[in-house]
Amino acid sequence: MANSQPTRRDFIKTSTVAAAGAALAANLMPSNLYAAGDDEIKVGLIGCGGRGTGAIDNVLHSARNVRIVSLADAFQDRADSCEKRANELGQQKEVTDLGNKVDVKGRVFVGLNAYEDLLKTDCNYVMLATPPGFRPIHLAAAVAAGKNVFTEKPVAVDGPGIRSVLDTYEKANEKKLAIVAGTQRRHQLGYLETIKQLHDGAIGDIVAGRCYWNMEVLWCKPREKQWSDLEYQMRNWYNFTWICGDHIVEQHVHNLDVINWVIGKTPISAAGMGGRQRSVPNPQDFGNIFDHFAVDYEYPGGVHVLSECRQINGCWNSVSEAVVGTKGMCQVNDYKINGTRILSRDQDKRAVDPYIQEHSDLIASIRSSKPLNELKTVAESTMTAILGRMTTYTGEHLTWDKAINSKEELMPKDLGWKMTLAEPPVAVPGKTKFI
């Protein structure tokens, strides 16, 4: 790493040598990742909440010649708020210095089918940031429309959704479309360097692991009188399994993705336990999700990984991953192998923000005509999380094959604002049946 602090602009001009080198050495990205290219990236955003608005900020700082051209959301207030913020971001000096701009006038679409209108525009780079229950539908539509895609994680909430996404992955390959997922650790210098060394045998063969996403209670949206059943559940989406997948899928997917990446395989089975025990003032607004999961994943070769995720106030917290090998252990999230940190904290601070790096990598792959396609990888990590939820909800020991071939479809049919949509029950292990 250079001694002086590099700016994002410097990175876009010349790339961060260490980051590019790590990616190349790990053989994860094209050899000419930062090849010259000026093709305009015309961005359309589907999903104008906090993560979608953040993605606009990220992509505007990721490369030259980027223009935000269209927005879509189910709700007018979300679309309006995002449009206002996007216009503010478009005026930032760092953005204008890169030749980037925001021009969405007349191309802001609202409604349950707003994504269809957006995909008819001339955008060539679609960002998907709606709640994950919609992801299989939007991915399939974006690829059918011939768009390159940045998709937030997770990419589905059930087995049928995963099967749809894997089909979309194949279609994207046939069309030579690029897809990068919001599993930003795969574009983070410290993780790249650490996992490269693990793959090179730094701790021998992996024999066990564990990963955590233990934290406080997150948000809920109390119901307002004027909201229909559907509007309430969509605005309170994090708390309903049909639209978020539960927090093991929506958040813990990050840590499970790291474990799959390190091991290089998906689990063959899982057994879990969990439930809902936190005390909150308004439990009805926390939908039907659990507040704690503990899952034992078995990987090929008898490798077991303990997974924990919890959202209860006043408890010990950790968001982390660790693995044990025949020659030692690695605290992956801290970039430590056998107690030695392989990337200094100062180097880590000076590395490019991975939320920006993932867009830089996607755009570079488009411009070099060597498209990245991470959809299969993120689909497998999402399915790992879904497997964990399924085994915990039912209390059954489940294999990967059984879970991925599940017939349970969580997405309600024929969504409409005036539909009757009962709140789904909370699962009861031992009584809730696998479908």
What the chain holds in terms of domains, given with CATH numbers, is 8-186+352-375 (3.40.50.720), 203-343+380-404 (3.30.360.10)
Per-residue pLDDT, averaged over 1-11, amounts to 37
| Higher local confidence (pLDDT), 24 or 97 | 97
The pLDDT tens digits of the residues spanning 388-432 come to 999 999 999 999 999 999 999 999 999 999 999 999 999 999 999
Residues 6 or more apart whose CB falls under 8 angstroms from that of 24 comprise 31, 33
3 state SS for 138-172: HHHHHHHCCCEEEECCCCCCCHHHHHHHHHHHHHH
The 3-state DSSP class for residue 260 equals helix
Local structure of 197: helix, strand or coil: helix
pLDDT score at 177 = 98
Q: For residue 15, what pLDDT is reported?
A: 35
Mean pLDDT on 243-262: 98
Give the Cα separation of 130 and 296 in Å (integer). Answer: 30
State yes or no: pLDDT of 156 exceeds 80: yes
- The pairing of strands 41-46 and 328-331 is unpaired
pLDDT given for residue 428 in this prediction: 97
Share of the chain above pLDDT 70, in %: 91
| Per-residue confidence (pLDDT) for residue 17, from 0 to 100 | 32
Task: Dihedral sign for Cα 274, 277, 281, 283, please.
Answer: positive
* Mean pLDDT calculated for residue range 63-85: 98
Is the separation of the CB atoms in 21 and 1 below 8 Å? no
What would the DSSP string read from start to end of 74-90? S-HHHHHHHHHHHHHHH
Q: What is the pLDDT of residue 38?
A: 67
Among the listed ranges 7-11, 145-149, 320-324, which one has the minimum average pLDDT value? 7-11
Segment among 37-46, 183-192, 312-321 with least mean pLDDT: 37-46
Given a cut of 70, is residue 33 above it in pLDDT?
Answer: no
Quote the pLDDT of residue 41.
98
The one-letter amino acid code at 434 reads: F
pLDDT of 24 higher than 80: no
- Provide mean pLDDT across the span 74-85: 98
Q: What's the pTM value of the predicted model, to 2 decimals?
A: 0.92
Residues contacting residue 427 through CB under 8 Å, at least 6 positions apart: 288, 290, 392, 393, 394
pLDDT, tens digit, for every residue of 342-377?
988 888 889 999 999 999 999 999 999 999 999 999
pLDDT at 378 over 90: yes
Q: What percent of the chain has pLDDT over 90?
A: 87
pLDDT at 22: 38
CA-to-CA distance for 212 and 317, rounded, in angstroms? 9
10 pLDDT more than 80 = no
Token pair listed for 181: 């997922």
Structure tokens at 151: 């998709």
Tell me, what's the pLDDT at 14? 33
| Of the listed ranges 37-41, 114-118, 325-329, 402-406, the one predicted with least confidence | 37-41
pLDDT at residue 91 tops 70: yes
Express each pLDDT in 210-222 by its tens digit.
Answer: 999 999 999 999 9
Count helices and strands in the chain by DSSP H and E runs: 17, 16
Q: For the chain, how far is it from start to end, CA to CA, in angstroms?
A: 52
* Cβ partners under 8 Å of residue 272, min gap 6: 293, 294, 295, 296, 307, 388, 391, 392
Mean pLDDT of the chain: 92
Residues 195-203 have a mean pLDDT of: 98
| Residue 6 scores a pLDDT above 60 | no
Q: Which of 234, 189, 209, 268 is nearest to 28 (CA)?
A: 189
Q: Residue 374: which residues within 8 A CB-CB, separation 6 or more? A: 179, 180, 181, 183, 186
Identify the band that residue 75 occupies on the pLDDT scale cut at 50, 70 and 90: very high
- The Cα 54–Cα 47 span in angstroms is 11
